[in-house]
Amino acid sequence: MTIIREIILDTETTGLEPTDGHRIVEIGALEMKNKVVTGNKFHFYLNPERDMPTEAYRIHGISGEFLKTKPLFIEIVDEFLEFIGNSRLVIHNAPFDIKFLNHELSRVSKPSLEQVRAIDTLVMARKMFPGARSSLDALCKRFKVDNSGRQMHGALKDAALLADVYVELTGGRQVTFDMASAKKNIEQNTTRASSSNFSSNNKGLIVAPTKEELKKHKEFIAKIVSPLWNNF
């Protein structure tokens, strides 16, 4: 079976525009294979080498004092790139996070991430539910994903919520359920058949008809007028 690896990713920043000097202060990413979170994760708080604006602090609650002892982006960039590899990036409002990540990558002379490799769940939600609210909180409510612990934004916490939302947006849970049910039915039918209708010898597989099948066959034969085999 083909394994599809995707990375659910989120960031927190000091503001809205990296060109205004704003930086990433937290990166959270989760590995997902075939729509199942594996438990492998990447998570770092980062020293932005600048102050924390009050407006940003009110959103994520990460203080400049707390970040002073955290690593710089250059110190974790190789580990980050190794973790994401060439996998698809699943991001809510992808252009925002990609522009910040690319700004940080350019500062340390690393290649930029291509926007096309990102799956934007915000775009997906707006297409699926036109006119409806498409924030992460709104989608959690719609899909009954428990976000009661999300008093403030947090990259790893939001990535975990987004993983559940993404599975719902793609119908993953239902597909997984159907595949599991189909597999169970096949196994049950195979077991039932091997215990009753099937036997084998050194010439191959012999399929014995059931009593019901023999009865129906006899009734069918009786209806044939002047069967060919009577001429032999």
- This prediction has a pTM of 0.74
How are the residues of the chain apportioned to helix, strand and coil, as percentages rounded to the nearest 5?
Answer: 50, 20, 30
pLDDT at 196: 45
Report how far residue 231's alpha carbon sits from residue 1's, in angstroms, rounded to the nearest whole number: 55
> What are the tens digits of pLDDT across the range 4-52?
999 999 999 999 999 999 999 999 999 999 999 999 999 999 999 999 9
Listed range (42-46, 148-152, 189-193, 210-214) with the worst mean pLDDT: 189-193
Q: What is the pLDDT of residues 170-201, one digit of tens each?
A: 996 654 444 445 445 545 554 444 444 444 44
Query: What CATH class is the domain 5-170?
Result: alpha beta
Per the CB < 8 A criterion, the answer to whether 134 and 154 are in contact is: no
Task: Kindly give, in sequence order, each residue whose CB lies less than 8 Å from that of residue 15, ignoring residues fewer than 6 positions away.
Answer: 21, 22, 53, 55, 56
Where do runs of H (alpha helix) occur along 86-210?
94-107, 121-128, 136-142, 155-169, 172-196
Write down the catalytic residue from 22, 60, 92, 153.
153
Taking the domains of the chain in order of start, what are their residue ranges? 5-170, 176-225
- How far, in Å, CA of 129 to CA of 113, rounded? 28
Helix (H, G, I), strand (E, B) or coil at 206: strand
User: 3-class DSSP state for residue 66?
Assistant: helix
Residue 216 has pLDDT above 50, yes or no: yes
Query: What pLDDT score was predicted for residue 187?
Result: 52
Active site residue 43: no
Answer whether residue 231 shows pLDDT above 70.
no
Mean pLDDT of 218-224: 67
Residue 112 near residue 100, CB atoms below 8 Å = no
